[in-house]
């Protein structure tokens, strides 16, 4: 018989566990097999529940990711609007006010994303305040930039929290999977002991591991464009938390 490993997909582990549990339960007169069915069922349900929780955490990252994307878009537009306002106050491109507030133009501010852009926006706020003596509208523009920067920071913080939560749920899923692998291997050893030198009976309780059809687990949600798909439990599998 084959044993799943840490490289075996979660979906395949769920399939193997449900198959094993179901076949073991076909022998209610054998106390050992009944006990193994309960243990394998519990371990399988734990993996199914942990995988569902992880998948939900990944999906929950969608809104924070959108908020960051929009904050970047909105901030860029605001910064460009402030540049136009400075040029209007100068009455000409490359004038005194624009040169003081945007010494490098808008590109060094709008080209970066995330924390780097937030830092550049803070610097812009400082230059706008310093330019109040030569530009009456500078402080009003500072308020606009600061408002966008605060929203950007909040969006980044929310996305960071969502990513951390997703990573935590993945770790819990991986731990549940490792527990399942231990239980499955232990069940295999117990079945061999129950039916020594009877390969046909030993193989009866365990499905093939290296078989096509398993749904890939997906990667970790390491950044805002990396979303892992959920692996659903096999059709007919028991609800999470119900070993039978």
- Asked if residue 176 and residue 150 are part of one domain, the reply reads no
pLDDT at 221 over 80: no
Residue 26 belongs to some domain of the structure: yes
Range of the domain at 39: 10-61+168-204
Residue 215 belongs to some domain of the structure: no
- Asked if residue 174 and residue 54 are part of one domain, the reply reads yes
- Asked if residue 181 and residue 117 are part of one domain, the reply reads no
The set of long-range contacts for 71-77, using a CB threshold of 8 Å and a minimum separation of 24, is: 71/148, 71/151, 71/152, 71/155, 71/156, 72/113, 72/114, 72/117, 72/152, 74/148, 74/151, 75/110, 75/117, 75/121, 75/148, 75/149, 75/151, 75/152, 76/110
Name the band, by pLDDT with cuts 50, 70 and 90, for residue 227. Answer: very low
In the listed set 159, 191, 226, which residue is the last one of a domain according to the structure? 159
Residue 96's pLDDT is 96
pTM greater than 0.75 (yes/no):
yes
- Mean local confidence (pLDDT), 175-193: 98
């Amino acid at each position: 018989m084959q044993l799943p490993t840490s490289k075996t997909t979660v979906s395949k582990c769920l399939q193997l566990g449900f198959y094993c549990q179901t076949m073991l339960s076909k022998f209610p007169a054998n106390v050992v097999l009944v006990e193994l069915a309960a243990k394998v069922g519990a371990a399988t349900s734990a993996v199914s529940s942990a995988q569902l929780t992880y998948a939900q955490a990944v999906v929950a990252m969608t809104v924070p990711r959108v908020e960051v994307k929009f904050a970047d878009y909105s901030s860029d537009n605001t910064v460009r609007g402030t540049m136009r306002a400075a040029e209007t106050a100068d009455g000409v491109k490359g004038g005194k006010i624009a040169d003081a507030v945007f010494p490098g133009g808008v590109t060094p501010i709008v080209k970066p994303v995330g924390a780097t852009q937030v830092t550049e926006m803070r610097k812009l706020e400082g230059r706008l305040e310093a330019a109040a003596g030569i530009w009456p509208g500078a402080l009003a523009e500072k308020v606009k930039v600061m408002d966008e920067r605060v929203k950007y920071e909040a969006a980044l913080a929310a996305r960071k929290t969502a990513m951390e939560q997703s990573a935590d749920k993945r770790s819990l899923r991986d731990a549940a999977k490792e527990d399942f692998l231990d239980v499955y291997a232990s069940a295999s050893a117990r079945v061999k002991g129950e039916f020594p030198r009877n390969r046909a009976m030993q193989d009866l309780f365990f499905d093939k591991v290296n078989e096509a059809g398993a749904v890939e687990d997906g990667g970790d949600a390491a950044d805002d464009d990396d979303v892992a798909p959920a692996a659903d439990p096999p059709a007919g599998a028991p609800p999470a938390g119900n070993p039978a």
